[in-house]
Copies of this chain bind each other. A is one copy, B any other.
Amino acid sequence: MAQNLTSLEHLIQILEKFPGIGRKTAQRMAFYILQMDSEGIYALAQSIKDVHEKIVHCSVCCNITETDTCPICSDEKRKSSPIIVVEDPIDVMALQKIKEMKYRYHILHGRLSPLDGIGPKDIRIKELFARITENNDIPEIILATNPNVEGEATAVYLHKILKPFEIPVTRIARGLPVGGDLEFSDEITLSESIRGRRAIR
């Protein structure tokens, strides 16, 4: 820009790299930050610092938490319940919105992606293995990695290596989203929704 605002431009460039933030939103955010009072700036800075200092990984499920072990793993009601394996902590946040969810989790912190050089050693599979080996109260493992190429590959791999444990391993259902529309669904989802059909009770 011809306006000699390198500091603002620099902030915009940092914000632009955030997921889901385009140039326009980054600009509006930077202007918002510019107009914040010093109290607001302090709160923002402190909050960023807090997140980095207070949040650790749960030694049981690898989820992010401020107390180890995390509240979900310490929850007596979830003892001996199935373990849902997800890619990221944000997935747990999504699943926790379901009322009466009495499951436990294991967070891989990633997915297998040979193209990006991410193999089994780069995600928390070792920890899942240890957890299954050390505990005999796991009735089922539900693979809830994302239903895309990398998530599927990760699920297939986990299914294979978990076989020796003789614990039932399941995969979350794919099909039409509730409130969805056949007309606007892609053919793979449609085909999955037919293959996964269930008897009407």
| Other A-B pairs beyond A7-B47, A27-B90, 14, CB < 8 Å | A1-B96, A3-B63, A3-B70, A3-B92, A5-B66, A8-B51, A10-B47, A14-B44, A19-B32, A20-B28, A33-B51, A34-B51, A44-B48, A45-B48
Does A48 contact B41, Cβ atoms closer than 8 Å?
A: yes
- Which B residues are CB-close (under 8 A) to A29? 18-21
Does B34 contact A2, Cβ atoms closer than 8 Å?
A: no
Asked whether any CB of chain B lies closer than 8 Å to the CB of A52, the reply is yes
Ranked 3 nearest A-B pairs via Cβ: A7-B50, A11-B47, A7-B54
Asked whether any CB of chain B lies closer than 8 Å to the CB of A81, the reply is no
- Which B residues are CB-close (under 8 A) to A89? 31
Q: How far, in angstroms, from A24 to B55 measured CA to CA in the complex?
A: 20
Q: How far, in angstroms, from A8 to B19 measured CA to CA in the complex?
A: 17
Does B10 contact A50, Cβ atoms closer than 8 Å?
A: yes
Instruction: Give me 29 A-to-B residue pairs in the complex whose CB atoms sit less than 8 angstroms apart, sorted by A's number.
Output: A1-B93, A2-B71, A2-B96, A3-B63, A3-B92, A3-B93, A3-B96, A4-B65, A4-B66, A5-B64, A5-B65, A5-B66, A7-B47, A7-B50, A7-B51, A7-B55, A10-B50, A11-B47, A14-B44, A14-B47, A18-B32, A21-B25, A27-B90, A27-B93, A30-B51, A34-B64, A38-B52, A44-B48, A45-B45
